[in-house]
Amino acid sequence: MSGVVAKAPNKRLLLLTLLAAAPVVIASALGQMATLPNIQGWYEGLVKPSLNPPNWLFGPVWTILYILMAYAFFRVLRLNAQTPGRAAAIIAFLVQITLNALWSFAFFAAHSPLLGLVVIAALEIAVIVTIILFARLDRLASYCLSPYAAWVAFALYLNASLWLLNG
Domains with residue ranges and CATH for the chain: 12-45+60-166 (1.20.1260.100)
Q: pLDDT tens for the chain, 167 residues: list them.
A: 455 555 556 888 999 999 999 999 999 999 999 999 999 999 999 999 999 999 999 999 999 999 999 999 999 999 999 999 999 999 999 999 999 999 999 999 999 999 999 999 999 999 999 999 999 999 999 999 999 999 999 999 999 999 999 98
**Largest CA-CA distance found in the chain, in angstroms, rounded:** 73
Q: What is the 3-state secondary structure (H, E, C) of the chain?
A: CCCCCCCCCCHHHHHHHHHHHHHHHHHHHHHHHHHHHHHHHHHCCCCCCCCCCCHHHHHHHHHHHHHHHHHHHHHHHCCCCCCCCHHHHHHHHHHHHHHHHHHHHHHHHCCCHHHHHHHHHHHHHHHHHHHHHHHCCCHHHHHHHHHHHHHHHHHHHHHHHHHHHHC
